[in-house]
Amino acid sequence: MGHIVIGKAALFAALALFAFSSCAPREQLGARYNLVARVIDGNSAIEIVGHTGTSADARIPSAIQNLPVTAIGDEAFAGGDWVVTDASRPYVSEFIVGHQFASVAIPDSVTHIGWRAFAVNTFASVVIPDSVTVIEHQAFWETPVTRITIGSDVALNGDGGFPFQFAWFYNAQGRRAGIYTYGNDGWSFEPRE
């Protein structure tokens, strides 16, 4: 009977080793770029789900391992989060500021920006490439963005997380492509042809 148990254990260990070695873990996909990534859409695209670096600049490649980076996942570049700091009081949490980015470069392969993807950062300007079709609620929450270059007809779910009622102003301009700048008199719009 001991021989069977050893055989099962060895078989299980071999199967587990094969399963984990036959596909790249998500951490390895973006390691070269200090990013955590995963394959999505039937192994045809990449989603960035986190970062591991300490650079002040969030640089996102347009492709990883010959697959296009099409999505920035929920909280992938968030600069902080609400955390329960006392297990005896799980209903009490405090905001913990983490690594924040001073700039971001989003490649034109990206079509979707997730919930709180760039929340709580310090950059004031962002270029949303024409390829982006959806920006989820609170994507730029608590990030002091006052200059937004954006394409036309981008769906801002919720408010997109931009400050100063940007979503309302963008919609009032007919969701036109251009440069939107916030100043003392509110938002202004410079159309882009």
In a domain, 121, yes or no: yes
Q: Provide the CATH number for the domain around residue 120.
A: 3.80.10
Residue 49 CA to residue 80 CA, distance in Å, equals 15
In a domain, 18, yes or no: no
41-80, pLDDT tens digit by residue? 999 999 999 888 777 888 899 999 999 999 999 999 998 6
In a domain, 5, yes or no: no
Residue 31 has pLDDT above 90, yes or no: no
- Which residues have C-beta within 8 Å of that of residue 105, sequence separation ≥ 6? 57, 58, 59, 60, 127
How much is the pTM?
Answer: 0.78
Average pLDDT along the chain: 81
Count structural domains, the chain. 1
Question: Which residue range forms the structural domain that includes residue 106?
Answer: 25-191
In a domain, 17, yes or no: no
In a domain, 155, yes or no: yes
In a domain, 14, yes or no: no
